[in-house]
């Protein structure tokens, strides 16, 4: 078994050492992932609300379908509020970590007055 891995590793070309990741790159990566997840969550919540609205319109006089649709709309609104609240928390923490939160006036992304 050990010989098997050694023959496989011998065939793999040597990989040059990589560049270390900087804080700015890590911050940018986390920011992009968080933005994507927030947008995806809000889109899903809007789709859920629309689905509830269509179900509500198609319910007619059926009270069980009406209550299901109302619950679906309410849950979509709560989901959107939670996602947007998490977005505010993430952006606040990111601002504190990068010290942009304590800047009183920014011009073109540069802190002018602390």
At 83-94, the pLDDT tens digits run 999 988 887 887
Residue 1 falls inside a structural domain = no
Residue 103 falls inside a structural domain = yes
Structure tokens at 92: 């606040």
Residue 10 falls inside a structural domain = no
Residue 8 falls inside a structural domain = no
At 20-75, the pLDDT tens digits run 777 777 778 888 888 899 999 999 999 999 999 999 999 988 899 999 999 999 99
Residue 3 falls inside a structural domain = no
pTM beyond 0.75: no
**What pLDDT sits at residue 92?**
81
Q: Return d(Cα 26, Cα 32) in angstroms, integer.
A: 10
Alpha-helix runs per DSSP H in 18-62: 23-58
Residue 2 falls inside a structural domain = no
Residue 38 falls inside a structural domain = yes
Q: Return d(Cα 107, Cα 88) in angstroms, integer.
A: 22
Range of the domain at 92: 23-113
Could you tell me which of 97, 100, 107 has the C-alpha nearest to residue 26?
97
Structure tokens at 27: 């911050």
Could you tell me which of 46, 39, 48, 44 has the C-alpha nearest to residue 87?
39
Q: What is the number of domains present in the chain?
A: 1
């Amino acid at each position: 078994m050990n010989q098997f891995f050694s023959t496989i590793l011998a065939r793999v070309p040597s990989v040059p050492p990589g560049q270390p990741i900087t804080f700015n790159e890590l911050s940018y990566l986390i920011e992009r992932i968080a933005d994507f997840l927030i947008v995806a969550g809000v889109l899903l919540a809007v789709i859920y609300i629309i689905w509830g609205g269509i179900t509500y319109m198609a319910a007619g006089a059926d009270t069980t379908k009406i209550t299901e649709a109302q619950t679906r709309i309410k849950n979509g609104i709560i989901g959107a509020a939670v996602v947007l609240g998490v977005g505010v928390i993430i952006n606040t923490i990111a601002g504190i970590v990068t010290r942009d939160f304590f800047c009183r006036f920014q011009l073109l992304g540069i802190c002018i007055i602390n």
